[in-house]
Chains A and B, each alone.
Chain A
Amino acid sequence: NAGVTQTPKFRVLKTGQSMTLLCAQDMNHEYMYWYRQDPGMGLRLIHYSVGEGTTAKGEVPDGYNVSRLKKQNFLLGLESAAPSQTSVYFCASSYPGTSGSTYNEQFFGPGTRLTVL
């Protein structure tokens, strides 16, 4: 059981380049999330998905797109990278909350460190 994996682990881009970050989970989780973590800011939600074929915006979605074509994969795309997107990106997944609860533990991947020059 690999849990949540992310590809790549590190990447350096030039301003204006594009790239896709891949997240995969083998826990059969319905929900998946993309966060970014910046110094002094905590983790902020970029986009999330509550099931295959569905996506929704989080707190900081601008400049990013996502797709969830398969239940186990959640892709994060940067169409035209900017220096402000230099960050550590974490993917997470979880089961839906149980009846009467709106939360279930989120499991995080190891992160992708992205630098945009």
Chain B
Amino acid sequence: RKEVEQDPGPFNVPEGATVAFNCTYSNSASQSFFWYRQDCRKEPKLLMSVYSSGNEDGRFTAQLNRASQYISLLIRDSKLSDSATYLCVVSQGAQKLVFGQGTRLTINP
């Protein structure tokens, strides 16, 4: 079983729609959680950290459920520029990040 699992997609949604991604992790000792964004043929970049209380950054909302070992990302009012691959990332300490395989999102005009 992979340590971090995501639905690879692809997700194709119309501009303006709300889209949600889910991610599960297997190591209950995981300490920190993140979403990274990766554009086609580019490097990953940090989108946002994920906290147990939930956090929001503009149109993006991230949630963490430690009991279920589940992380989510919600994108509201999606834009064409949101098209990318979204990587669920878990830290198990000592600067080691474990990446999910990514969920590919395409926003259609």
Contacts and interface: CB of A to CB of B under 8 A. Distances in A.
Interface string B55-92: 00000000000000000000000000000000100010
Contacts of A69: none
A45 B102 contact: no
Interface residues of A, number: 26
Interface centre among B31, B42, B96 (most CB of A within 10 A): B96
Contact of A42 (B32, B41, B43, B87): B87
A96 interface: yes
Interface residues of B, number: 21
Contact of B4 (A42, A48, A103): A42
The A interface is mostly helix, strand or loop, or mixed, namely loop
B32 A105 contact: no
Nearest to A30: B95
Interface stretch (A11-19, A60-68, A71-79, A106-114): A106-114
A94 interface: yes
B38 to A, nearest CB: 9
A40 B43 contact: no
Contacts of B93: 102
B28 to A, nearest CB: 16
A74 to B, nearest CB: 13
A45 B8 CA distance: 20
16 contacts: A35-B99, A40-B101, A41-B101, A42-B4, A42-B101, A43-B87, A43-B99, A45-B97, A50-B95, A96-B95, A102-B32, A103-B31, A103-B95, A108-B43, A108-B44, A110-B42
B97 A101 contact: no
Contacts of A106: 46, 95, 97
